[in-house]
Structure 1
Amino acid sequence: MSRPPLAVVAGTGFYDLEALEHRTDETVDTRWGPARVTRGRWHGLPVLFLTRHGPGHSVPPHLVNYRANIRALADLGVQDVVAVNVTGSIDPALAPGDLVCLDDFLDLTKQRPLTFFDGSGPEGVVHVDVSAPYHPALRRELLDAAAAVGRPMRDGGVYAAFEGPRFETAAEIRLARLAGGDVAGMTGVPEVTLAREAGLRYAAVSLVVNPATGVGDAAEPITMDEIDAVLARSRDAVLAVLDELVRTRATTTDPEEDAG
């Protein structure tokens, strides 16, 4: 019996997954709308790739159809989702180019559809436990892959999700830091909680591309040129970690999946 496909979900700077072979693009219709997915094989394993912002970064973070994306992956038989988030550092010890394997989040968004369980479906109202939103076993795969390819990755970090598409104010970043936030981004929530609701194992690596507003020496405005420059030199580090994770899966026997 073949393994279920691994899903890779990414955003800014990650609009293609060149390592995929035998690729096909398809649109999956869901109750929440359509989702565009690229199907292929990586080291011989089935992989689905989804870029949140669409081709050419045409969809802003607050308008990403997170429900359609996660529902489509679940409908296609995915069990594991590895996500990539491009972030600003709230913790001044994190520098551009650093990698963080997230283990918790703060939801500071304001107007997004947050759940599949809005009371309109047959399941009614459901309250999902998110005490471990990022799956421990999948996190360990990311950390082991990073170590194997010599890419330092912090074990644990809190993702503070803001609405966007504007960058955060210095006061908002101070608030997030007081609440324990380590990195700031615009796409990690509700993706992580929807994956939990759909019964998927989910883990995420955060690529730091700039100090968040007011952090450290960040007196200059944040610019996309600055972010793009870090992405240009750091994107390969993320791809190397993902490649090692997939390669390791391809060379090991199929372990018993822990769906908890």
Structure 2
Amino acid sequence: MNTILLLHGVMASAVNFQRNQRDLEDLGWRVVNLDLPGHGSRRPAAGSADSVDGMALDVAARLDDRAAHLVVGHSLGAIVGLRLARLRPDLVSAVVLEDPPGLASMDPAQVAVEVSVAAQRARSDPAGEIAALLRSRSSWSREAAEDAIRSRADFDASTISWFLTTQRWDLPALVAECPGPVQLIAATEPDTALKGVDRERVIALIPPNRVRIVKSAHSIHRDRPALWLISVVSFGNTLGVDQARVLSPCD
């Protein structure tokens, strides 16, 4: 059975993918849903949250070496997934990028400040933050909002803020270097992390039939879960595990 590895974004955790995991499992997929270092239940071991590579290798250490995974990464999880594919191509068949963040049009230091403030609010007034999230995300269930605020309260804000202020990545280069095929599921502007020249360059690197632009905010798997599921499964069904290992992003 093919395996899908789910990797969440900043301030999130594996719990935020639970609904999607259940849907994938109901369709016959084996799903591995992990907390990134510094998030959820995963306290960062030495070096695991210092860099994108550190996070990717931390994930690799928790995977079954016999499996070839379709990695589905949201936001930061997409960046980690691309590096995992590069560092351990034996573990990765292909990568789905859900609204990956490019650095050409964002300030990581500002994002670091924003995530620290969000964590403080989630800890001090969880009920108020859940209510605010439900007002701004009318398509979300209460369970999804509660999970999101709990993840914000639980993650290691100081470690991840430091990570954001020190790490840099070239998203188009990561896509070009990926040894397996890549699919992109991106949100519409302005509510997307993939903007400007990074958006143009990444879309140009991926075959048009593997690019899906979705009318959604950043968390497509929660805003548009049915469309997200169709996109991931239809791509996954085109991949034979052995075949996928030898494909390139532009095939």
TM-score, normalized by the shorter chain, greater than 0.5: no
What TM-score comes out, normalization by structure 2 length? Answer: 0.37
Report the structure, 1 or 2, having the larger strand content.
1
Q: Which has the larger radius of gyration?
A: 1
Report the structure, 1 or 2, having the larger helix content.
2
